[in-house]
């Protein structure tokens, strides 16, 4: 340990401001991949005014630090901007401690591998509604994607059926994330670098992050309050349906509950809505894009689905495990395009030493995109090849750890089982019933789809693109209609 002296390599700090101007605020993961090549290191470092950022580009390093040494790597950075935006209610951003543990435990039980079966009905209903939407208005793909992605968390958390994405709960949550997420990046908000700035008022000249934060706070408070009040009203009316919140309110009415528990439930429901919706939108957007530009993969998947499911019914959860190629598509979509390209920031609670480097106490990030595009593990990393997940015998290989769900003592994404169930059923049902292809212009020529993504800081979504979505046959069309009649 005494030999370890220097921080990991990275851009040379400037006088006084350190690396403040070097931190990328757009296309973050790719910039850190480039840094990795430039400084010839998979562990990178930059700092500004006492705040350190360490980026890990290699899976084995993340396993060593975030898992084996998880005790000291499981905190989250204390961003002063968070409180100004009411995002301290988001337990995914909470410091490692009692408050986080309490919320995580409740959430984990609700979404455990076994408990996810309780949500299969809701997932199937919402996936079938998406198929119906695609049938009637295929040009509104973004709308249907968002409806599916927001309606599952709203139903499982509050028992609330989202009727339209113009629902005020949805629009306020959207605005809050669009405005607030970029302020988390190192280099984007000076408040995170100079915590003392958090106490200057929003009207102070130049306090631009404060003004944005104040608006985000107003929106966030609304996102937390409105659906809770709605659920309470349904309880009073006697029309509530089971959900995390309504189950809790029922218990509270029967045997009482502490304020601490009520706060936790409120925080969990709000957190899950945000954590589930934007990530699912991102993956589904990537899925449609990747299917439209990879017709060979799509055709092979459809042959496999037809072989197992046949033409007389829609896929259901009992089919999972019987269509290996679909499993490979699920793995490959998440490998190609992890929605949170940098994962969630983990913070180190004490100085550590790794590979002869000093890893300073403070912020540290892992770069999921760099890990899922590591050429030594995934040859031709930018090619979409579900086949990479099969071994020589044609069986699925054991690379079933979906890196996009993260690492460590925070036991990675608490929603990974419901997410996996949702994405699997959505992918399989969409491919079973529709052909996805490039759209055509008036002269019948295919319109190319660009690879552009919209960057929201930590998260990215596929930029809007035109594609054609057509039912595979009259029989498939009828299956969708029948499923939706049954749902009503
Ligand atoms: C493809 C979809 C999803 C991806 C890629 C994803 C990814 C992630 C990642 C990378 C983390 C950070 C883990 C870490 O600390 O390193 C996380 C945390 C979290 N995710 Fe997901 N997630 C997805 C869907 C969901 C869904 C559907 C839910 C709903 C239950 C959810 C709930 C959460 C929560 C509550 C946390 C915070 C956990 C904590 O800090 O203890 N996620 N997710």
Domain boundaries, the chain: 28-487
Cβ of residue 344 lying under 6 Å from some atom of ligand 1: yes
Interface ipTM > 0.90? yes
412 carries a ligand binding annotation:
yes
Is the Cβ–Cβ distance between 53 and 22 less than 8 Å?
no
Q: Is 276 a pocket residue for ligand 1 (Cβ < 6 Å)?
A: yes
Predicted pLDDT of residue 403:
93
Using a 6 Å cutoff on CB, does residue 65 contact ligand 1? no
pLDDT of residue 409: 54
Give the closest residue (by CA) to ligand 1 atom 7: 405
408 lines ligand 1 (CB under 6 A): yes
pLDDT of res. 76:
86
pLDDT at residue 202 in the model: 54
Please tell me if the CB atom of residue 340 comes closer than 6 angstroms to any atom of ligand 1. yes
Among 124-133, 209-218, 310-319, whose mean pLDDT is lowest? Answer: 209-218
User: Does 184 or 326 have the greater pLDDT score?
Assistant: 326
Band (408; pLDDT cuts 50, 70, 90):
low
Q: How confident is the model at residue 196 (pLDDT cuts 50, 70, 90)?
A: very low
pLDDT band for position 188 (cuts 50, 70, 90): low
Q: Calculate mean pLDDT across residues 149-172.
A: 93
For 171, other C-beta atoms within 10 Å of its C-beta total 15
Question: Which range has the top average pLDDT, 85-99, 444-458, 464-478?
Answer: 464-478
Name the token pair of 11. Answer: 């851009």
Contacting residues for 248 by C-beta, under 8 A, at least 6 apart = 257, 261, 262, 265
- Across the range 195-214, mean pLDDT stands at 61
Contact 180, 85 (CB under 8 A): yes
Q: Which ligand 1 atom is the nearest neighbour of the CA of 283?
A: 1
Percent above pLDDT 90 for the chain = 70
Cα-based distances in Å from 206 to 23, 184, 192, 212: 21, 18, 15, 12
Q: What is the mean pLDDT of residues 167-180?
A: 85
Q: Is 3.40.50.1980 the CATH number for 28-487?
A: no
Ligand 1 binding pocket mutation candidate from 29, 275, 337 (most atoms within 8 A of CB): 275
Atom of ligand 1 nearest to the CA of 344: 12
Q: Whose CA is nearest to atom 34 of ligand 1?
A: 414
Residue located nearest, by CA, to atom 32 of ligand 1? 415
Question: Which residue would you say has higher pLDDT here, 4 or 163?
Answer: 163
**What does the pLDDT look like over 230-279, one tens digit per residue?**
999 999 999 999 999 999 999 999 999 999 999 999 999 999 998 999 99
pLDDT for residue 209 is more than 80: no
Does the C-beta of 272 come closer than 6 Å to ligand 1?
A: yes
Task: Work out the burial of residue 377: count CB atoms within 10 Å of its CB; fewer than 13 is exposed, 13-18 middle, 19 or more buried.
Answer: middle
Distance CA 47, CA 143 (A): 41
Phi-psi region for residue 43, left (φ > 0), alpha (ψ -120 to 50) or beta?
A: beta
Q: Is 111 in the pocket of ligand 1 (CB under 6 A)?
A: yes
pLDDT of the residue at 191: 53
Q: Is 418 in the pocket of ligand 1 (CB under 6 A)?
A: yes
Categorize the per-residue pLDDT at 411 as very low, low, confident or very high, splitting at 50, 70 and 90. low
Q: Taking the CB of residue 366, how many other CB atoms lie within 10 A of it?
A: 28
* Arithmetic mean of pLDDT, 367-391: 95
**pLDDT of res. 30:** 85
């Amino acid at each position: 340990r005494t030999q370890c002296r220097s921080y990991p390599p990275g851009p040379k700090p400037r006088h006084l401001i350190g690396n403040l101007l070097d931190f990328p605020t757009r296309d973050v993961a790719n910039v850190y991949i480039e840094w990795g090549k430039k400084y010839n290191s998979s562990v990178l470092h930059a700092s500004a005014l006492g705040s350190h950022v360490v980026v890990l580009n290699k899976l084995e390093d993340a396993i060593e630090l975030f898992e084996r040494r998880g005790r000291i790597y499981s905190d989250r950075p204390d961003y002063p901007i968070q409180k100004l935006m009411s995002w301290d209610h988001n337990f995914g951003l909470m410091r490692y401690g009692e408050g986080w543990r309490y919320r995580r435990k409740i959430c984990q039980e609700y979404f455990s591998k076994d408990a996810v079966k309780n949500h299969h009905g809701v997932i199937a209903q919402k996936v079938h509604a998406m198929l119906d939407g695609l049938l009637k208005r295929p040009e509104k793909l973004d709308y249907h994607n968002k409806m599916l992605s927001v309606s599952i968390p709203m139903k499982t958390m509050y028992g609330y059926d989202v009727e339209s994405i113009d629902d005020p709960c949805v629009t306020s949550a959207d605005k809050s994330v669009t405005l607030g997420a970029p302020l988390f990046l190192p280099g984007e908000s000076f408040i995170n670098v100079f915590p003392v700035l958090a106490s200057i008022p929003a009207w102070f000249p130049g306090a631009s992050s404060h003004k944005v934060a104040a608006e985000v706070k107003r929106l966030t408070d609304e996102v937390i309050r409105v659906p809770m009040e709605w659920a309470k009203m349904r309880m009073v009316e006697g029309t509530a349906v089971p959900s995390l919140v309504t189950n809790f309110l029922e218990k509270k009415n029967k045997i009482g509950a502490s304020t601490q528990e009520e706060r936790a439930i409120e925080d969990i429901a709000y957190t899950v809505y945000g954590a589930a919706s934007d990530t699912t939108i991102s993956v589904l957007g990537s899925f449609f894009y990747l299917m439209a530009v990879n017709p060979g993969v799509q055709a092979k998947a459809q042959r496999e689905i037809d072989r197992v499911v046949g033409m007389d019914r829609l896929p259901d959860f009992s089919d999972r495990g019987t269509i290996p190629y679909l499993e490979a598509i699920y793995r490959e979509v998440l490998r190609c395009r992890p929605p949170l390209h940098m994962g969630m920031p983990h913070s180190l609670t004490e100085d550590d030493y790794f590979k002869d480097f000093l890893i300073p106490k403070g912020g540290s990030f892992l770069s999921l995109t760099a890990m899922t595009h590591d050429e030594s593990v995934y040859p031709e990393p930018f090619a979409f090849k579900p086949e990479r997940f099969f071994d020589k015998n044609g069986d699925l290989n054991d690379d079933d750890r979906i890196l996009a769900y993260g690492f460590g003592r925070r036991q990675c994404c608490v929603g990974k089982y419901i997410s996996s169930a949702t994405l699997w059923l959505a992918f399989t049902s969409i491919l079973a019933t529709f052909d996805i292809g490039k759209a055509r212009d008036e002269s019948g020529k295919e319109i190319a789809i660009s690879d552009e993504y919209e960057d929201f800081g930590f998260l990215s979504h596929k930029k809007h693109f035109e594609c054609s979505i057509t039912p595979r046959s009259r029989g498939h069309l009828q299956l969708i209609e029948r499923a939706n009649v049954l749902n009503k």
